[in-house]
């Protein structure tokens, strides 16, 4: 299994809209990407900082979903003023 970890920052006045967007649009879109296994969207309402961790069945699945994930991030950035700090990819080495 592999993971994509994205660090972002949303303007504080748009955090509620970001939460709505995550739950109503981003998660349903992610679920349609082949090889998607799940994800977590973490956030600090006071600062607008967020971390998303999406899980993929394989490195190939993660790579194959890159274009779709990029489009999802781009759409969110336009609607929310979202700034992406970093995007990293990892192999999942353990799970409990």
Tens digit of pLDDT at every position of the chain (96 positions): 999 999 999 999 999 999 999 999 999 999 999 999 999 999 999 999 999 999 999 999 999 999 999 998 899 889 999 999 999 999 999 999
pLDDT at 19: 96
Helix (H) or strand (E) holding 19: helix 15-21
Global confidence as pTM: 0.91
Distance of CA 53 to the CA centre of its chain: 6
CATH number of 2-91: 3.30.70.100
76 neighbors 24 (Cβ within 8 angstroms): no
pLDDT of 81: 92
Residue 95: half-sphere exposure toward Cβ, Cα within 13 Å:
6
* pLDDT for res 17: 96
CB atoms within 10 A of CB 90: 12
Enumerate the domain spans of the chain: 2-91
Q: How far apart are alpha carbons 58 and 81 in whole angstroms?
A: 31
Q: What is the pLDDT of residue 76?
A: 87
What pLDDT was estimated at residue 52? 97
- Closest Cα partner for 73 from 81, 47, 61, 93? 81
């Amino acid at each position: 299994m592999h993971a994509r970890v994205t660090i972002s920052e949303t303007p504080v006045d748009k955090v509620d809209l970001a939460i709505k967007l995550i739950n109503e649009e981003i998660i349903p879109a992610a679920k349609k990407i082949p090889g998607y296994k799940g994800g977590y969207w973490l956030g600090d309402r006071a600062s607008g900082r967020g971390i998303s961790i999406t899980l993929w069945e394989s490195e190939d699945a993660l790579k194959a979903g890159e274009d779709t994930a990029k489009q999802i991030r781009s759409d969110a950035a336009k609607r929310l003023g979202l700034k992406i700090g970093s995007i990293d990819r990892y192999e999942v080495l353990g799970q409990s």
